[in-house]
Amino acid sequence: MFGLRSKVSEPAAGQTAGPLDRIGRRSDGESRPSGTQATAVDRQSRIEAAAAALADAVTPRLRALIESGMPAGEVTRQAGTLTQVHFRGHSIMLAPLELRGFVAEILRPILPATSFVGASPASNDASIVTAAPASAAPAEGATQDDAPAPVEPAAADPEAAPPTATAAPAAPAPAAAASAVLSSPAAPAARLAPNPAPKRPPAQVLPQPALRQAPPAARPDAAEKSASGLSRSKVDQARRAVQPMVMSRIDLAAAVSLPRKELVRQLEGVVGELLVEHRIQLNRAEQSDLVYQTVNDMLGLGPLEPLLEDESVTDIMINGPKQVYIERRGKLELTSVAFEDNTHLLNICNRIVSRVGRRVDEASPVCDARLHDGSRVNIIIPPLAIDGPSISIRKFGKRQIGFDQMAQQGNISPAMATLLRVAARCRLNLVVSGGTGSGKTTMLNALSGMIDNGERVVTIEDAAELRLQQPHVVRLETRPANLEGNGEVAMRDLVKNALRMRPDRIILGEVRGPEAIDLLQAMNTGHDGSMGTLHANRPREALTRLENMVTMGVASLPPKAIRTQIAGSLNMIVQVSRMRDGVRRVTHITEIVGMEGEVVITQDLFTYEFKGESVDGGLSGTFKCSGLRPHFLPRAAYYGLDRVLMEAMS
């Protein structure tokens, strides 16, 4: 798949056309002259003659090195150098894969403790075989110092597909034959031989390149793969040198269309050849990490991918290209993740927002977006962000957290879980209140899990992050204005439109403006069970904020009218808080009883009472039940849940 697209419309003779034959290796130098069949056969005969004398010429010197106590890795490098010098003496330049094959054959009897296994000549998996680039084959008259340094055979990766060796002719092949041949998984792997001889006997095929197998070991977790104990600076330097050349040799349009595993497998061969050409010494684990980072830059979000795959990370905060913080178990940690520069980070920002049809630039330097898994993203770039682009990612776990798991983690008590289940089943109008990062959306997701499957639910959010499990859900998302300042669709517009969609419940991801008046009207006009979140530190402050947001939409309403509508529409406030030990807890479950004069009357059904701090730094306390009779008890009796409710309150 790698290289310049062939200018020849038909595949070379003797090759099987695959679905992606348009992908080929690009050459760093000028186009090579076409070879002839006679030249290829002559080179093959010279290779066979040189191979017959290889063992007698190289083996004695290698045995002497081993007897002198030289390490196996240095012996392997010397074997590569001696083998290349031997073939140059016969006027033959070996391709990197050919050289590795002959080195393996020489070392097999000398280092019996090492297992050398060649690749299978035929495979059912799609494989890529490419001609050596111009920069990898210097002139035959070049000196030994000009030869690329041979690479020590590395440990075989259990998931990596073995490469396929081919016989390379002395004269380069035409452009069509220089293209890589990719076959479909159902067909046998296509084998590329530049300028092939139609009647070449099978015995003329060169030995397969060999890999040294290491004992099977557990592969590192994906989130720790790039942050393992490898030399990060060494891998980063290699990536800066190799990645531009990789991009120049591949067809990016075809590369992004391949599955990730297939792209990784094919890039491993290209990266390995480039490392040999430029004399960059990396072991197998470092090469795998290099390929992993390259694929992340091509298909993912670059250095952020390991953090996104780590399920223990809940927040990612990027303050410029060289400072990345994460939140793990409620605590902030500084990571070693870094971007190249502001341009690299800005490219990642554009990649995030373009997936959801938004933009971020100097004209619109602030943007809310989401990732494919629903994680919420906020981006702000210069000139508003002085130290470079800033990204805040609120991650959501792959598994949805329910009330049972919250009770096990100490976020709520079992009695509070029962009360919240009953409240959601009885279609009470709820508001989840809390500070930033306190777990409001997680609580809203848990409450929505109690909605009956027969109800029609409409969700409205700035960036879609709610994950409802019901089958009948309509998800709406706001839209910012375009470059001309037109086309903006605010949350209030969506709330008004949702009232015409025959919803049973309306769920707002976050109430933060004049849409509060429309939500209260919906709650009071037959859409029982509607929910939303808002920012406040206490239940009483949540009522005050809700009143202020209603005033933003309709300033002419008197305060008493607003409070009367709040008391008649809202039934319960669930207050959540992230405490200083990093644990998120429900501190209040407050019920709205009604009005007394111009004051909204509330009663706390459950509260969290702080007791002290444990030795390990965690906070200790108890969830305390007030013992009051819930005001919505008649409604619970209507749904047949009054006995369950009273047992929870006792």
Same domain, 345 and 363: yes
Per-position b or e across 419-435, b if 16+ CB within 10 A of its CB: bbbbbbbbbbbbbbbbe
Same domain, 625 and 560: yes
Same domain, 459 and 600: yes
**pLDDT one-digit tens code per residue, 380-398:** 999 899 889 999 998 877 7
- The strand pair at 457-461 and 473-477 is best described as parallel
Same domain, 110 and 143: yes
pLDDT of res. 18: 43
pTM for the model stands at 0.58
Same domain, 465 and 500: yes
Banded pLDDT at 232 (limits 50, 70, 90): low
Helices 515-523 and 491-498, interaxial angle, to 10°? Answer: 20
Does residue 108 carry a pLDDT above 50? yes
pLDDT of res. 480: 82
Show the domain range for 538: 403-649
Within a domain: 4: no
- Which one, of 592, 597, 594, 588, lies nearest residue 624 by Cα? 588
8 Å CB contact between 126 and 262: yes
Omega of the bond leading into 303 within 30 degrees of 0 (cis): no
Within a domain: 183: yes
Of the ranges 29-43, 136-150, 155-169, 277-291, the best mean pLDDT one: 277-291
**pLDDT one-digit tens code per residue, 539-576:** 999 999 999 999 988 888 888 999 999 999 999 999 99
Q: How far is CA 558 from the centre of its chain?
A: 51
Write the DSSP string, 216-267.
Answer: P-PPPPHHHHTTSSS-HHHHHHHHHHHHHHHHHHB-HHHHTTS-HHHHHHHH
pLDDT of res. 231: 58
pLDDT of res. 476: 92
Does residue 11 carry a pLDDT above 80? no
Give the residue-averaged pLDDT of 58-71: 83
Does residue 195 carry a pLDDT above 70? no
Give the residue-averaged pLDDT of 237-251: 79
> Which tops the pLDDT comparison, 123 or 649?
649
Within a domain: 129: yes
Same domain, 319 and 443: no
Quote the number of domains for the chain: 4
Per-position b or e across 439-475, b if 16+ CB within 10 A of its CB: bbbbbbbbbbbbbeeeeebbbbbbbbbbbbeeeebee
Per-position b or e across 298-333, b if 16+ CB within 10 A of its CB: bbbbbbbbbbbebeebbbbbbebbebbebbeeeeee
Same domain, 527 and 596: yes
Point out the domain boundary residue: 361, 394, 427. 394
Banded pLDDT at 603 (limits 50, 70, 90): very high
Does residue 255 carry a pLDDT above 80? no
8 Å CB contact between 481 and 490: no
Within a domain: 53: yes
pLDDT of res. 145: 42
Does residue 123 carry a pLDDT above 50? no
Same domain, 595 and 614: yes
Q: Please tell me the least confidently modeled range out of 190-199, 358-367, 532-541.
A: 190-199
Within a domain: 23: no
Give the residue-averaged pLDDT of 206-226: 40
**pLDDT one-digit tens code per residue, 316-367:** 999 999 999 999 888 889 998 888 889 989 989 998 998 888 888 888 899 8
Within a domain: 2: no
Residues near 370 by beta carbon (within 8 Å), at least 6 away in sequence? 356, 376, 377, 463, 464, 465
Within a domain: 10: no
Point out the domain boundary residue: 238, 272, 298. 298
The CA dihedral of 30, 36, 40, 43, to the nearest 10 degrees, is -80
CA distance linking residue 626 with residue 572, whole number of Å:
15
pLDDT of res. 541: 93
Amino acid at the residue 262: E
Same domain, 272 and 341: no
Give the residue-averaged pLDDT of 280-291: 81
- 347: domain CATH number is 3.30.450.370
Point out the domain boundary residue: 394, 429, 451. 394
Within a domain: 3: no
Same domain, 328 and 266: no
Same domain, 577 and 475: yes
- Which one, of 607, 443, 407, 437, lies nearest residue 532 by Cα? 443
Please state the three-class secondary structure of 419-433 as a single string: HHHHHHHCCCCEEEE
Does residue 292 carry a pLDDT above 80? yes
Same domain, 267 and 350: no
Does residue 613 carry a pLDDT above 60? yes
